[in-house]
Structure 1
Amino acid sequence: MHPDDDGRAYAGEGLATARFPPVEPPVLPGAPPPLPSPSRAAAKPPERRNFLSAHWHGDLSLPVSYWINLVLVTLLARGLLTGLGTLDWQRHPLTWAIAATATAVLICLGIAVWQYVGVWRAAGRSGSGWGVVARIMVVIGCVGSCVGMRTNARVLADMLHASSEQQSWNDFHVRVAADGRAIDASGTMGVGFTDQIEQAFASHAGIHLLRIASRGGSVTEGVELHDFLHAHPDIAVEADGICASACTLAFIGAAQRLATPQAWFGFHQMRSLLATTRSVDYVSEQQDRFKRELHELGATPDFVRLAFARQGNDVYVPDRAELFDNHIITAIDADGRHWQADGWRSEQFLQALRHDPHGRTLAAAFDRIALVQPAIYQQWLQRDLAVPVRPHPAAVARYNDNFWHALDAARARQLEVASTQDVRRYAVSEQQTLEMLRRQLSPSACGRYASGIAITLGSHGGAFRDAVGSGYVALFSGQGTVQLSTPAWRASLGSALRQHQAERWTAHGELADEAHWTAACSRQLATLDQLLAAPGANGDLALRAYLRVR
């Protein structure tokens, strides 16, 4: 018997069938409830972050991260750096500026990293096309920041160089002069230069002279010292040595502006120590102010143009005449005597002699020439004024030639009008000069000099100037004059000239040798002895004529 699929069984064909009830499958038990997930069981509530942290992790929306934290904060950071650039750091040690700028740059660098990371993460979470755009802008911003950091590094390097230069300006000294007449200020005009000068005058109210020697320095210090002198017209300023760059700006602030004979002035364009906008604009404003004040003092447009045409360490150095003509100086202070422009025109050529212990009598002789032979004196002055001042060695040589030619011309003219006493004193001085040359150089040098031939003095130049100076002072004393008889004077000159030629030349008309010059020295000394001993008017004429043709 086989059960059929529907539960019916067949015993065989023709057999009766029996029906069984259907069998129901047993009911299986239900699935067990799911076990709790370990991850869900350990899950905690989302962490609440502050605004800065939320931006860093990209939790903020893309618009907030980009427009607020990137764009707006960048503008604020740039405003901070721009504000630092507007400060006038030159009034203070630049180490302050370096510290402030370096701190600001580091802060801005940290802010930039925070900005770009936050925007990048927020853009990734946004899932929108704007996220791609934001990430592109982040890449561009990173490149720009790298370029900006390079620029900032260069700015800091420039500031370090400027700080090093500024620190080298601290070599100045401000003190009361040894004679108690002035406040001496020397060295570069660094930070505090003007403050120390103001304090010195406040502590010594009886002093009214600032003696300055400076190559320049801080424009700010020059401006402040200029304003101090301008506010105290009772304080005179005197340049003693170099006064260049910012020193010239301070110098013109005084009402009375003096210069010693050795002082010189150097003008050029003002330069900002820093390349910041504020510093550059400040220096430009002060230079324009300087130009206006020079024009107000009476300087010519050409002088102002030349004064600011040079740059860097190149300076324009005007001579004394230009300084007077353009009202840069009001007088020259030479050993306590103040020379105005007219007097200094000639005095400048005698200052070297006045400062030479062996040349003072020659300078005094020229002072006498100005009185007794004014025409010759003016001719000498005009020749010296016409000499180009550069090159300096060539100018000095020309000045020396002009000096001795003028002295000889004045001597020749004065021998015709000087009193007998003055002529004799001059003759005695000539004797002493010949004796000095014979003893200290050689008899041959003595003979050459007596015959009007140039000799090399070497180390004996001082003794020579001492010897001849006193004779010229005596000859140009102006203590009485005489009027010689023209025929007698001409006859005496002719006789003296023939004698002089006989002493100087050989019989063949050639220059004599060393032995001849040695003998000539002795003969001329003997001749002077004879002429000084000769009595009467004829002796006086012969002495004058002999001295005249030598």
Structure 2
Amino acid sequence: MSEGGWLAQALPLLLLALLAGRAADDAQSLQLSALLQLAGSVLLLLSVACCKIGVWRAASRQAQHAGACATTWALRVLVLAGGLAFGLAFAERHGGARTFEMGQIALGQDPVAVVDARISADGRSLLLSGTLGAGSADKVHELLANAPGVRLVRLQSAGGRLFEAESIAADIRQRRLNTYVDGLCASACTMVLLAGRQRGAAPAARIGFHRPSFAGVDDDRAVDADALMRYYRNAGMARAFIDKVRATPSHTMWFPPRKELERHRVLTPALLAGGLLASR
């Protein structure tokens, strides 16, 4: 194949990679998003490889016709240097641990467990406990669709996937439900809490915040960090509060005192006196 053929193949592959990335952002399930992200990464690698091969072949053809010269060697050095730089950057962003975990999610084997969700006996509360693994949002959506009397979502979760938390939060906002923390609500669970029209917590409840993380990805480069901070900002949190969350590494947890949670309207005390906890 000529160098022009290699380059001609690279363009549609690059376009497909960009489309896969865009589709992954709009995917309705975490599993589909993971599949599309992996497909986009493969297509991106192939498109870059085609470009590099095309330039290398062009340099080789130049050397055959005009003999090796400084320009020919310069092109080859640029191809090698560019390929190495891209490879290192790609490995840093799509490292082995991250790719492995994305593969598990794509295959329906998320290492983070699906949330335990059930409707209370009186049909007024949805009880969520455990982690928010892939498939949690679908489970919650189905339960809510068959329980029109639900008015309160009770939370006991250490967090999980932001994708699932955001999808659950969207259902809560759409139905204008209230949220209440029974024990622990940390990390991604806070997105679900903040979706409540009114938000309360038991006296001994703990609500924790930190930067998001993903296997093999450093906190500072976590692709969901900016999205999570925007979510908090749109929920009405003050910049100082959000900056404290961003400054908290993913391997630790910041548990603000209750007065601060109420001052920043993470909790809305009206729920505590609203008589909505009778379904306990």
Coarse TM-score class (shorter-chain normalised): 0.7 to 0.9
CA shift digits 1:39-71 (9 cap, x unpaired): xxxxxxxxxxxxx3xx2xxxxxxxxx4xx4677
Number of the residue aligned with 1:152: 90
The alpha carbon displacement at 1:196 in A equals: 1.8
Q: Pick one of 92, 101, 119 that aligns with 2:41.
A: 101
Q: Spell out the pairing of 1:69-468 with structure 2 (5 A cutoff).
A: 87-88=24-25, 92-93=30-31, 94-102=34-42, 104-106=44-46, 108-109=48-49, 111=50, 114-115=53-54, 118-127=57-66, 133-154=71-92, 155-160=94-99, 162-163=101-102, 167-177=110-120, 180-233=123-176, 235-271=177-213, 283-295=225-237, 303-331=241-269, 338=272
Assess, with a 3 A threshold, how the Cα gap between structure 1 residues 71 and 174 changes in structure 2: closer, same or farther: same
**Residues 13 and 43 of structure 2 are in contact (CA less than 8 Å); yes or no, is this contact kept in structure 1?**
no
Q: Distance in 2 between matches of 1:77 and 1:142?
A: 21
**Residues 172 and 187 of structure 1 are in contact (CA less than 8 Å); yes or no, is this contact kept in structure 2?**
yes
CA shift digits 1:421-473 (9 cap, x unpaired): xxxxxxxxxxxxxxxxxxxxxxxxxxxxxxxxxxxxxxxxxxxxxxxxxxxxx
Q: Distance in 2 between matches of 1:104 and 1:303?
A: 38
**Residues 270 and 283 of structure 1 are in contact (CA less than 8 Å); yes or no, is this contact kept in structure 2?**
yes
Higher Rg of the two aligned structures: 1
CA shift digits 1:170-204 (9 cap, x unpaired): 33222223564422222222233222212111111
- TM-score, normalised to structure 2, is 0.72
**Residues 20 and 36 of structure 2 are in contact (CA less than 8 Å); yes or no, is this contact kept in structure 1?**
no
**Residues 272 and 283 of structure 1 are in contact (CA less than 8 Å); yes or no, is this contact kept in structure 2?**
no
Structure 1 residue identity aligned to 2:180: E
Number of the residue aligned with 2:278: none
**Residues 237 and 257 of structure 1 are in contact (CA less than 8 Å); yes or no, is this contact kept in structure 2?**
yes
| Larger relative contact order, structure 1 or 2 (CA cutoff 8 Å, min sep 6) | 2
Assess, with a 3 A threshold, how the Cα gap between structure 1 residues 309 and 152 changes in structure 2: closer, same or farther: closer
Q: What percentage of residue pairs aligned between the two structures are identical? A: 19
The alpha carbon displacement at 1:307 in A equals: 4.3
Q: Distance in 2 between matches of 1:145 and 1:290?
A: 39
The alpha carbon displacement at 1:243 in A equals: 0.5
**Residues 233 and 239 of structure 2 are in contact (CA less than 8 Å); yes or no, is this contact kept in structure 1?**
no
Q: How many residues align?
A: 262
Structure 2 residue identity aligned to 1:183: L
Structure 2 residue identity aligned to 1:214: S
Structure 2 residue identity aligned to 1:98: L
**Residues 155 and 181 of structure 2 are in contact (CA less than 8 Å); yes or no, is this contact kept in structure 1?**
yes
CA shift digits 1:326-352 (9 cap, x unpaired): 43223499xxxx458xxxxxxxxxxxx
Structure 2 residue runs without a partner (length 5+): 275-280
The alpha carbon displacement at 1:308 in A equals: 4.2
Structure 1 residue runs without a partner (length 5+): 1-51, 56-64, 341-550
SS of 1:294's partner is coil
Query: Could you tell which deviates more after superposition, 73-82 or 131-140?
Result: 73-82
